[in-house]
């Protein structure tokens, strides 16, 4: 299995480091933002796992009772610098459902009864706290894209979003969330890449609470 999308993808992402918008990101490296961000990721992710452990256990049991089969669903995505990662979710679709699609319809028959609620409430994404602890993801960042979209759909300018660690939430999610495909919202992710800061991260996390509670854009 390849660890990266392709050598071409990595090359394009690396070249983007010299893009005019990368100056801000390079400055962040020297100011300690990356180290502080990682420390905050570990603190809140580990804390979240502890706090939500009872809920996650309950959901795991309900998923198994509702449709049988595996409780956790793994899907390959593209992480920072084109590295492939496996994101974790509670399974919300019946066994045998396609792993990849351009867009999952709101009333897709493959989604289980419980799965609709888990998606609407975003509870299905709680296992991704483990991805954060592993270092595959951050709490805040561009959403990890599906490999086939990066390889077949991305234009050269869109590869710059791979410079930042993917996140559980981000500027894209709190400004439309799942209303449109991820690759159509690259501009929002690039805004985050160019303006990363602990303050912006805090704003996004705060706005995420409202988005999750309202169920806006969930699918």
Instruction: Tell me the pLDDT tens digit for each residue of 54-67.
Output: 999 999 999 999 88
pLDDT at 4: 66
**Residue 190 pLDDT greater than 60, yes or no:** yes
pLDDT at 219: 52
The answer to the question of residue 2 being in a domain is: no
The answer to the question of residue 193 being in a domain is: yes
With cut-offs at 50, 70 and 90, classify the pLDDT of residue 71.
very high
**Residue 44 pLDDT greater than 80, yes or no:** yes
The answer to the question of residue 59 being in a domain is: yes
Domain count of the fold of the chain: 1
What's the whole-model pTM score? Answer: 0.82
**Residue 194 pLDDT greater than 50, yes or no:** yes
Give the rounded distance of the alpha carbon of 63 from its chain centre: 22
The answer to the question of residue 219 being in a domain is: no
Task: Name the nearest CA neighbour of 216 among 144, 91, 125, 122.
Answer: 122
Torsion angle in degrees (nearest 10) through CA of 10, 11, 13, 15: 160
> What average pLDDT does range 131-147 have in this prediction?
95
138-140/167-169 β-pairing: parallel
The answer to the question of residue 174 being in a domain is: yes
Domain that holds residue 35: 7-214
The answer to the question of residue 1 being in a domain is: no
């Amino acid at each position: 299995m390849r660890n990266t999308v392709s050598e071409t993808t990595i090359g394009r992402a690396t070249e983007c480091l010299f893009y005019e918008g990368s100056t801000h990101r390079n400055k962040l490296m020297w100011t300690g933002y990356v180290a502080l961000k990682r420390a905050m990721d570990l603190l809140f992710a580990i804390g979240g796992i502890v706090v939500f452990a009872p809920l996650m256990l309950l959901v795991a049991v309900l998923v198994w009772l509702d449709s049988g089969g595996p409780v956790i669903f793994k899907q390959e995505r593209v992480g920072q610098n084109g590295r492939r990662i496996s994101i974790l979710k509670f399974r919300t679709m019946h066994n045998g459902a396609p792993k990849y699609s351009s867009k999952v319809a709101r009333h897709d028959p493959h989604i289980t009864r419980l799965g609709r609620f888990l998606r609407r409430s975003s509870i299905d994404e709680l296992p991704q706290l483990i991805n954060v602890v592993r270092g595959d993801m951050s709490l805040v960042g561009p959403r990890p894209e599906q490999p086939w979209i990066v390889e077949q759909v991305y234009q050269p300018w869109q590869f710059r979003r791979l410079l930042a660690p993917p996140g559980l939430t981000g500027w894209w999610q709190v400004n439309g969330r799942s209303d449109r495909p991820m690759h159509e919202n690259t501009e929002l992710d690039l805004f985050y890449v160019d303006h990363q800061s602990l303050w912006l991260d805090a704003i996004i996390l705060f706005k995420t609470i409202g988005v999750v509670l309202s169920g806006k854009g969930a699918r």
